[in-house]
Amino acid sequence: MNGSEPPYRDRTDAGRVLAGYVNHYDPAAAIVLAIPRGGIPDISETLLR
């Protein structure tokens, strides 16, 4: 980063942003290939949307 503010407030906020990008996909057809270490708060927020 260049010393500016982080792009997200926290992992939950990052999950909300991610949900906005993927909400048009059919959840029944989704396959999770990997969840990076510490990524559970991100993905849980995404799945709730």
Q: What are the structural domain ranges in the chain?
A: 9-22+38-49
Instruction: Write down the pTM of the prediction.
Output: 0.54
- Distance between CA atoms of residues 48 and 32, nearest Å: 15
Tell me the per-residue pLDDT of 29-40, one tens digit each, with 9 for 90 and over. 877 777 777 666
- From first CA to last CA, the distance across the chain in angstroms is 29
Tell me the per-residue pLDDT of 1-49, one tens digit each, with 9 for 90 and over. 566 888 888 878 887 888 888 888 887 887 777 777 766 666 666 666 6
